[in-house]
Amino acid sequence: MNRFKKKELEESMEKTTSFAERYLKPIELDRRQCVYISKRNHKILTDFIRSLNEKGLTIGGYIDNVITEHIDKHKEEINYLYRRERNDLV
């Protein structure tokens, strides 16, 4: 295997590990809330989660992990828009 292919493979494996550590960890949802997603996205997630055959990993847990990261990453923008909208309503 040439040097470039090996480096590309290593980078891909690192990304996969990082993705799995962030999103593919089972969590316990003590109070569930119903949220609707498109049929297409549900099918993709169902097939993906089932293919992993990971005990305790659920679509809800995956979605919660993704949304948690999204909120943390965009906290400032979310808070800004929330305050702006709240002030405009009064």
pLDDT at 41 (0 to 100): 96
Determine contact, residues 24/51, Cβ cutoff 8 Å.
no
pLDDT at 90 (0 to 100): 43
* pTM above threshold 0.75: no
pLDDT at 87 (0 to 100): 58
DSSP string over 1-58 = --HHHHHHHHHHHHHHHHHHHHHS-----SS-------HHHHHHHHHHHHHHT-TT--
Determine contact, residues 52/24, Cβ cutoff 8 Å.
yes
d(CA 12, CA 9): 5
pLDDT at 1 (0 to 100): 59
pLDDT at 34 (0 to 100): 87
Residues of the chain with pLDDT under 50: 88-90
**Domain region containing 54:** 3-89
d(CA 86, CA 76): 15
Count the domains in the chain: 1
Convert the pLDDT of each residue in 43-57 to its tens digit: 999 999 999 888 888
